[in-house]
Amino acid sequence: MSGGVDSSVATAILKDQGYDCTGVYMKNWSGDDYGLQVDCPWEKDQEDVEKVCKVLDIPFRSFNFEKEYRARVIEYFFTEYKAGRTPNPDVMCNKEIKFHLFLERALAEGADLIATGHYVRKKSSNGAHQLLKGKDPNKDQSYFLYNLTQEQLAKTLFPIGELLKPKVRELAKKYKLPNADKPDSQGICFIGEIDVQEFLRSRIKPHKGDIIDLDSKEKVGEHDGIEFFTIGQREGLGIGGTKEPYFVVNKDGRKNILYVGMGIDHPKLFRKEAVLENMHLIDASMSVQNLTGKDLQASVRYRHKPQACKIESKNNRIKVTFQKPQRAITPGQSLVLYNEEICLGGGIITTD
- Read off the CATH number of the domain in which 242 is found: 2.30.30.280
pLDDT tens, position by position, 141-188 = 999 999 999 999 999 999 999 999 999 999 999 999 999 998 887 655
Tell me what the mean pLDDT of segment 13-36 comes to: 84
Residues 285 and 236 both lie in one domain: no
* pLDDT of 194 higher than 70: no
Name the pTM for this structure.
0.93
> What confidence score (pLDDT) does residue 315 get?
78
Domain endpoint, select from 156, 175, 197 = 197
Q: Of these residues, 21, 53, 189, 309, which one is catalytic?
A: 189
**Using CB atoms within 10 A of its CB, is residue 181 exposed (0-12), middle (13-18) or buried (19+)?**
exposed
Residues 161 and 23 both lie in one domain: yes
Number of domain units in the chain: 3
Residues 130 and 85 both lie in one domain: yes
Residue 58 is part of which domain span? 5-197
* pLDDT of 67 higher than 80: yes
pLDDT tens, position by position, 252-287 = 999 999 999 999 999 999 999 999 999 999 998 999
Mean pLDDT of the chain: 92
Tell me what the mean pLDDT of segment 220-235 comes to: 95
Residues 286 and 146 both lie in one domain: no
Q: Is 212 in contact with 259 (CB distance < 8 Å)? A: yes
Residues 258 and 117 both lie in one domain: no
Task: For the beta carbon of residue 49, count every other beta carbon within 10 angstroms.
Answer: 25
* Percent of the chain's residues with pLDDT above 90: 84
191 vs 193: CA distance, rounded Å: 7
Tell me what the mean pLDDT of segment 228-239 comes to: 94
Q: Is 93 among the residues known to form the active site? A: yes
pLDDT tens, position by position, 327-346 = 999 999 999 999 999 999 99
Residues 139 and 121 both lie in one domain: yes
Residues 62 and 125 both lie in one domain: yes
Residue 299, strand partner residues: 336
Residues 161 and 79 both lie in one domain: yes
CA angle in degrees (0–180, nearest 5) for 316-320-321: 125
Q: Which residues of 278-289 are buried (b: 16+ CB within 10 A; e: fewer)?
A: ebbbbbeeeebe
Q: Is 40 among the residues known to form the active site? A: no
Q: Of these residues, 40, 93, 309, 343, which one is catalytic?
A: 93
